[in-house]
């Protein structure tokens, strides 16, 4: 356990499939019951008043406001971008979100709508969500999105290859995607629901980090389970341990199934106590979400006014 | 100033419905004890909580007599199915008053509200639920076709889990048809006396359960009393031995749950992050005031640096402070006396040459507090490796091979519990089979369940509490 | 002259200013109260022949739907902690106890006898629930074991619930017998489809109201009223039913059902007549569990 994490030359590890497999299998196992218990323990933290206000604003600033539907249109995307910049027209002190997240063919619309703002444009790519297409097609997908102005790319790994043990193939695809990103940053979607075990989540996290992903991301949001506390725990431990070994800071994005402020705040507690406060920043932590934003706004209202709100008091995207 | 500062999140003190004074519970009624009236204190700030009119020797006589009458009469003649329903009532009432009991426990004991709320009180209710179900099934429990109760049980419990220890004692005693005279610890009488209210409201026949607040002399009076047929004691090994001597030749039945110096063994292939949680839970849960605490960490030497680094990092997120704050992880030490003992032993640890470390920790000015402490470079010959500290102090030793781990783990007169951290199943089973400990936790620690028998080997005591086995000590 | 015309025998009229709101007796499937998909019902009378109410007359499709519901509920119920199951069962007893008088009236209507006898029967039924509730987290301790095999292996045996159990409730004892059949099945984690007594189904239906208000997940217990002679063969032959309890089936009718059950090797429980007032043994708990034995080497 110790020799694999402290000061090993990680280029050796990716020399070939066998070396990579040995490295990944040598990572400490994850005891699922223990991980779930730790996550549940962190969920008992009671975050009130000033701490809650800070957490809500921080969470808003970490949202990647997302629309990834077959029925998306330029109109839908423009409307969402307006909300991304001014989530609450009745309170302009509300922070803007970190980014919007759209399909590649709508990147141009988003870029135009967000010009001059702080909100980034993230695009899914690599035959999202399944990832089942030849590599050249997946890379072309990336290049198109980057050419259209996306500053962030959310790729999917080949889960079939991972589960079949072809780790080097997964690694090399991520490396190639990173190259195709150019100056855009890369988030690597592990699709943890399909990886099934926490051991796999740990291994896939390390694999993506070794391959150069700036962020590891839980899910496409198209299947359940998506982001869950034990999965988030293991991924935060991975970026923490990776930073300790390589001195490089990488981020975590939780996507899929996070709908309430309560959940978001619990995840911020987890970031705080597992990875550390450096990660409490949109440059290292994101929520991929759509309905979460409105619940954050409702909670923000409640803290300000003292009364519970209803859906009519926040805008549609 | 940290980026994410958790604001105070106090549980409301009013929920505890603290009274100005509490009496003792004898023969179905509350009354002032004939002994001293003491003030029980909140160890977090040394403020008095309530006055308690402690029992005197005459109260002990009354209680034992009432328990005998109830045993010969209403309770002793009652069919198991009816006894069961009384115990179910008590369980339900504990659940209903759960928050009240949790806050009261944290005020009187000093433990964090999160623990009393999430561990102590739910387990106490569960214990009554579990044993309620045995009351009418004793012939199936493996003790013969017609198991009989012993008679009047005298029970003396410690201050570390006041309500839970009362549940562990009373539930099996009543389920098997015995009657009870119980004395809570002198520094933590309030939750037991509130349990007495619950028992009264459940309408148990008078004298079935009697609860007497008092100090060591009252405990002695109960142990020595001729009218007591069976003694159950949880506390220090030193007092346990004294009780065993006192009972010798009297024919009284005895069960003891005493101290420990448990070894928590971490192998090189352990799931490291969960093992660290297990280490932290093992020694810092309840401020280390746990007989089965994992107070000796035995780490495979090849991974000692990684484990200690991860442990230190983890300890910096522990929050010490107001027990009623929902975010507090480490509460107050229960008394000045206990704090003095912890300090004496940790000073000794430093003198003996071990390396002492604590995370940065601000201790409140008033109250009894001790920062979580880790000693590395500890040798088996050090006092801090041998003696039970009963505080948030971890002693770390190393081992080279599984056999050496077992040898070091067993090298103690105690034998209450142990922990094993490894991903290899066969190793868990092998090591568990070799450890001289009544409870072995593998890849977890400090897990309790009313169905799981708990108790020690050797100087950690004898008899089991919990499970089917927990009936044995209360059957003739 | 015209022949005599049939008319129902009605209980004597009670004069009162206030008209009662009469209960409709329906099936209990998947936590809801549907009528039979066949739309049929049949009259239920008291021992004097007076009409009490009409009950739903379930069909084979209701059996089919009930089995689907029971199967769906099985993973959750069997995976619940034993403590949790015990809590739910105890809550059922709480709800029953709160409705003592209502059930005594129902039992008296169904079976006749004195008011005192009916109350005593209901009290026993409640106490029986409590007895079984207390078994949930103990049964494995009494029947499981660590087996000292000859070799370096840890070997243990545990009882596991068998799955979906089809049960034919006693024909005569409309509450106490029913409870004595139903409780042990679900205590150990099985789910069930129960066919109530043909002539005396109403206490069973009222019992389902208690079940529905006791945190019992929908589908764990499903109760069908109607003609057991019509419904039992469908349960006995159903391949997604793991066991059948033939308590309420006349011994003469059992062989045919046992034959049908053999098609998927169902476990078949065919008890002798029981006096429901006596304390039960653990036989009914044992009838619907499987024993799983696991080996693991012991070495460093």
Mean pLDDT of chain B: 97
Question: Residue C233 pLDDT > 60, yes or no?
Answer: yes
Burial class (CB in 10 A: 0-12, 13-18, 19+), B97: buried
**pLDDT value of position C2:** 62
**pLDDT value of position A7:** 55
Calculate mean pLDDT across residues C120-138: 98
- Residue A244 CB-half CA count within 13 A: 17
Same domain for B463 and B342?
A: no
**pLDDT value of position C148:** 95
**pLDDT value of position C174:** 98
Question: Residue C62 pLDDT > 80, yes or no?
Answer: yes
Candidates C134, C144, C279: best to mutate against B (most CBs of B within 10 A) is C134
Mean pLDDT of chain C: 96
Is domain C52-297 classified as CATH 3.90.550.10? no
Residues paired with A238 in a beta bridge: none
At residue C3 the predicted structure's pLDDT band, cuts being 50, 70 and 90, is confident
How many angstroms separate the CA atoms of A83 and B7, rounded?
30
Chain A and chain C touch, per 3+ beta carbon pairs within 8 A: no
Contact C154 B429 (CB under 8 A): yes
Facing B443 at nearest CB: one of A34, A45, A47: A34
How many angstroms separate the CA atoms of B357 and B379, rounded?
16
- Give pLDDT tens digits for A123-181: 999 999 999 999 999 999 999 999 999 999 999 999 999 999 999 999 999 999 999 99
List the single residue in B with minimal CA-CA distance to C280.
Answer: B137
At residue C137 the predicted structure's pLDDT band, cuts being 50, 70 and 90, is very high
Same domain for B299 and B230?
A: no
Question: Residue C116 pLDDT > 70, yes or no?
Answer: yes
Question: Residue C293 pLDDT > 90, yes or no?
Answer: yes
Coil, helix or strand at residue B77: helix
- pLDDT over 70 percentage in chain A: 97
- Helices (DSSP H) in chain A: which residue ranges? 2-5, 10-13, 17-26, 32-42, 49-61, 74-85, 107-114, 135-147, 159-163, 167-181, 192-195, 198-210, 229-246, 261-270, 292-305
- Give pLDDT tens digits for C183-222: 999 999 999 999 999 999 999 999 999 999 999 999 999 9
Same domain for B278 and B159?
A: no
Facing B118 at nearest CB: one of A35, A44, A280: A44
**pLDDT value of position A8:** 59
What does residue B359 show for φ and ψ, rounded to 5 degrees? -70, 160
B135 falls within a domain: yes
Contact C164, C70 (CB under 8 A): yes
Phi-psi group of A31: left, alpha or beta (phi > 0 → left; psi -120 to 50 → alpha; rest → beta): beta
Calculate mean pLDDT across residues C72-80: 98
Largest CA distance in chain B: 67
Phi-psi group of A144: left, alpha or beta (phi > 0 → left; psi -120 to 50 → alpha; rest → beta): alpha
**pLDDT value of position C1:** 52
| Chain B partners within 8 Å of C130 (Cβ) | 81, 84-85, 88
Same domain for B228 and B179?
A: yes
Question: Residue A5 pLDDT > 60, yes or no?
Answer: no
Question: How far is residue B358 from each of residues A13, A163, B111, B252, C126, measured CA to CA in Å?
Answer: 36, 43, 20, 46, 57
Chain C and chain B touch, per 3+ beta carbon pairs within 8 A: yes
Q: Which two tokens stand for residue B21?
A: 């004074």
Calculate mean pLDDT across residues B157-173: 98
Count the neighbouring beta carbons within 10 Å of the beta carbon of residue C76. Answer: 13
Calculate mean pLDDT across residues B11-32: 96
Facing C282 at nearest CB: one of B140, B430, B450: B140
- Give pLDDT tens digits for A189-240: 999 999 999 999 999 999 999 999 999 999 999 999 999 999 999 999 999 9
Contact C131 B136 (CB under 8 A): yes
Same domain for B235 and B317?
A: no
**pLDDT value of position A269:** 98
| Chain B partners within 8 Å of C294 (Cβ) | none
Q: Is A237 at the interface with chain B, CB within 8 A?
A: yes
**pLDDT value of position A1:** 34
Closest residue by Cα to residue A232 from A246, A253, A249: A253
Coil, helix or strand at residue A230: helix
Coil, helix or strand at residue A121: strand
- Give pLDDT tens digits for B218-262: 999 999 999 999 999 999 999 999 999 999 999 999 999 999 999
Known catalytic residue at A217? yes
Count the neighbouring beta carbons within 10 Å of the beta carbon of residue C239. Answer: 9
Give domain A33-305's CATH superfamily: Aldolase class I (3.20.20.70)
| Chain B partners within 8 Å of C296 (Cβ) | 425-426, 429
The tally of domains found in chain B comes to: 2
| CATH number of the domain bearing residue B402 | 3.40.309.10
At residue A257 the predicted structure's pLDDT band, cuts being 50, 70 and 90, is very high
Could you identify the residue written with the tokens 């929520």? A287
Which DSSP symbol is given to C29?
B
B427 falls within a domain: yes
Same domain for B118 and B246?
A: yes
H/E stretch holding A102: strand A99-102
- Residue B155 CB-half CA count within 13 A: 28
Mean pLDDT of chain A: 94
Question: Residue C115 pLDDT > 80, yes or no?
Answer: yes
Question: Residue A317 pLDDT > 80, yes or no?
Answer: no
The B21-22 sheet, strands edge to edge: B21-22, B47-53, B37-42
The one catalytic residue in A138, A199, A217, A317 is A217
The reported pTM is 0.95
Domain that holds residue B306: 263-449
Closest residue by Cα to residue A257 from A267, A245, A243, A247: A267
**pLDDT value of position C13:** 77
Contact C130 B137 (CB under 8 A): no
Which DSSP symbol is given to B377?
S
Q: Which two tokens stand for residue B184?
A: 């809570």
Contact C232, C195 (CB under 8 A): yes
- Give pLDDT tens digits for A121-133: 999 999 999 999 9
| Pick from B32-36, C4-8, C25-29, C211-215: least confident | C4-8
Largest CA distance in chain A: 60
Helix, strand, coil fractions of chain B, as percent rounded to 5: 45, 20, 40
Interfacial residues of B (vs C; Cβ cutoff 8 Å): 81, 84-85, 88, 126, 129-130, 132-137, 140-142, 402-403, 425-427, 429-431, 433, 450-451, 467-468
How many angstroms separate the CA atoms of A110 and A149, rounded?
9
Residues paired with B442 in a beta bridge: B420
Facing C296 at nearest CB: one of B129, B133, B429: B429
Contact B118, A44 (CB under 8 A): yes
How do the domains of chain C map onto residue ranges?
52-297
| Chain C partners within 8 Å of B471 (Cβ) | none
């Amino acid at each position: 356990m110790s020799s694999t994490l402290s000061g090993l030359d990680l280029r050796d590890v990716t020399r070939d499939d066998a070396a990579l497999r040995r490295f990944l299998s040598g990572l400490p196992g994850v005891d699922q019951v223990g991980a779930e218990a730790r996550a549940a323990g962190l969920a008992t933290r009671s975050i009130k008043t000033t701490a809650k206000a800070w957490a809500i604003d921080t969470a808003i600033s970490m949202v990647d406001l997302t629309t990834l539907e077959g029925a998306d249109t330029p109109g839908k995307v423009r409307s969402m971008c307006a909300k991304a910049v001014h989530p609450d027209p009745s309170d302009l002190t509300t922070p803007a979100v970190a980014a919007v997240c759209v399909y590649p063919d709508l990147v141009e619309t988003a870029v135009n709508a967000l010009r001059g703002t702080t909100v980034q444009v993230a695009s899914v790519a690599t035959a999202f969500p399944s990832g089942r297409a030849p590599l050249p097609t997946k890379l072309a997908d990336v290049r198109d999105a980057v050419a259209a102005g996306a500053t962030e790319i959310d790729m999917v790994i080949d889960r079939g290859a991972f589960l079949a043990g072809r780790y080097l193939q997964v690694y090399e695809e991520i490396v190639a995607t990173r190259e195709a990103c150019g100056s855009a940053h890369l988030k690597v979607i592990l699709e943890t629901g399909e990886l099934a075990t926490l051991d796999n989540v740990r291994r896939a996290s390390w694999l993506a980090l070794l391959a150069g992903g700036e962020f590891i991301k839980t899910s496409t949001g198209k299947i359940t389970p998506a982001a869950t506390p034990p999965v988030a725990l293991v991924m935060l431990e991975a970026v923490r341990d990776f930073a300790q070994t390589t001195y490089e800071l990488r981020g975590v994005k939780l996507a899929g199934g996070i709908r309430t402020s309560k959940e978001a705040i619990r995840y911020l507690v987890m970031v705080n106590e597992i990875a550390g406060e450096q990660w409490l920043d949109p440059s290292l932590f994101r929520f991929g979400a759509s309905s979460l934003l409105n619940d954050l706004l409702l909670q923000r209202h409640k803290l300000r006014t003292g009364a519970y709100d209803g859906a009519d008091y926040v805008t549609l995207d | 100033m940290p980026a994410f500062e958790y604001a105070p999140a106090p549980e409301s003190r009013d929920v505890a419905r603290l009274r100005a004074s509490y009496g003792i519970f004898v023969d179905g009624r509350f009354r002032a004890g004939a002994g001293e009236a003491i003030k029980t204190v909140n160890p977090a700030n040394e403020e008095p909580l309530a006055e308690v009119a402690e029992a005197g020797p005459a109260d002990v006589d009354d209680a034992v007599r009432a328990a005998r009458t109830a045993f010969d009469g209403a309770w002793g003649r009652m069919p198991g199915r009816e006894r069961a329903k009384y115990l179910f009532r008590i369980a339900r009432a504990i659940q209903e008053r759960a928050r009240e009991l949790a806050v009261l426990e944290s005020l009187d004991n000093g433990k964090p509200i999160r623990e009393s709320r999430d561990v102590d009180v739910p387990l106490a209710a569960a214990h009554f639920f579990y044993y309620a179900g045995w009351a009418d099934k004793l012939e199936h429990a493996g003790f013969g076709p017609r198991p009989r109760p012993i008679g009047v049980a005298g029970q003396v419990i410690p201050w570390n889990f006041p309500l839970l220890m009362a549940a562990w004692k009373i539930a099996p005693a009543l389920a098997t048809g015995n009657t009870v005279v119980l004395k809570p610890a002198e520094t933590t009488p309030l939750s037991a006396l509130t349990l007495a209210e619950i028992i009264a409201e459940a309408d148990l026949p008078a004298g079935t359960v009697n609860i007497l607040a008092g100090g060591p002399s009252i405990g002695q009076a109960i142990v020595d009393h001729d009218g007591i047929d069976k003694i159950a004691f949880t506390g220090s090994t030193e007092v346990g031995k004294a009780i065993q001597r006192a009972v010798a030749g009297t024919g009284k039945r005895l069960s003891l749950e005493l101290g420990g110096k448990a070894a928590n063994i971490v192998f090189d292939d352990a799931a490291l992050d969960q093992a660290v949680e297990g280490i932290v839970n093992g020694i810092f849960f309840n401020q280390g005031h746990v007989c089965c605490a994992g107070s000796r960490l035995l780490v495979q030497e090849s991974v000692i640096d990684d484990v200690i680094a991860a442990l230190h990092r983890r300890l910096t997120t522990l929050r010490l402070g107001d027990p009623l704050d929902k975010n507090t992880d480490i509460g107050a030490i229960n008394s000045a006396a206990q704090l003095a003992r912890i300090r004496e032993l940790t000073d000794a640890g430093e003198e003996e040459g071990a390396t002492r470390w604590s995370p940065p920790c601000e201790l409140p000015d008033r109250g009894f507090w001790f920062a979580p402490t880790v000693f590395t470079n500890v040798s088996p010959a050090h006092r801090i490796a041998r003696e039970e500290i009963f505080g948030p102090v971890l002693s770390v030793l190393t081992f080279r091979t599984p056999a050496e781990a077992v040898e070091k783990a067993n090298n103690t007169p105690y034998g209450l519990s142990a922990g094993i951290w490894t991903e290899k199943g066969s190793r868990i089973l092998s090591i568990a089979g070799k450890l001289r400990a009544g409870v072995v936790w593998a890849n977890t620690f400090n897990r309790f369940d009313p169905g799981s028998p708990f108790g020690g080997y050797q100087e950690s005591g004898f008899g089991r509490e919990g499970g089917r086995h927990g009936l044995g000590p209360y059957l003739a | 002259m015209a022949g005599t015309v049939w008319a129902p025998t009605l209980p004597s009229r009670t004069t009162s200013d206030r008209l009662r709101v009469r209960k409709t007796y329906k099936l209990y499937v998947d936590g809801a109260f549907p009528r039979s998909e066949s739309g049929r019902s049949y009259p239920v009378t008291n021992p004097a022949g007076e009409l009490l109410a009409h009950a739903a007359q379930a069909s084979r499709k209701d059996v089919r739907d009930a089995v689907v519901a029971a199967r769906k509920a099985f993973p959750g119920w069997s995976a619940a902690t034993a403590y949790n199951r015990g809590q739910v069962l105890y809550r059922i007893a709480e709800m029953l106890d709160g409705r003592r008088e209502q059930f005594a009236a129902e039992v008296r209507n169904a079976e006749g006898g004195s008011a005192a006898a009916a109350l005593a029967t209901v009290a026993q039924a409640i106490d029986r629930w409590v007895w079984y509730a207390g078994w949930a987290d103990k049964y494995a301790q009494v029947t499981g074991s660590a087996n000292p095999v000859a070799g370096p292996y840890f070997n243990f045996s545990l009882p596991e619930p068998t799955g979906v159990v089809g049960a034919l409730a006693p024909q005569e004892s409309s509450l106490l017998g029913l409870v004595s059949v139903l409780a042990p099945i679900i205590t150990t984690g099985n789910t069930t489809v129960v066919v109530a007594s043909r002539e005396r189904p109403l206490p069973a239906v009222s019992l389902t109201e208690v079940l529905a208000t006791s945190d019992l997940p929908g589908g764990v217990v499903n109760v069908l009223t109607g003609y057991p002679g019509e419904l039992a063969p469908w349960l006995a032959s159903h391949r997604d039913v793991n066991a059948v309890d033939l308590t309420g089936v006349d011994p003469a009718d059992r062989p045919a059902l046992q034959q049908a059950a053999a098609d998927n090797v169902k476990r078949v429980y065919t008890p002798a007549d029981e006096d429901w007032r006596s304390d039960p043994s653990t036989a009914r708990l044992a009838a619907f569990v499987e024993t799983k034995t696991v080996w693991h080497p012991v070495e460093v």
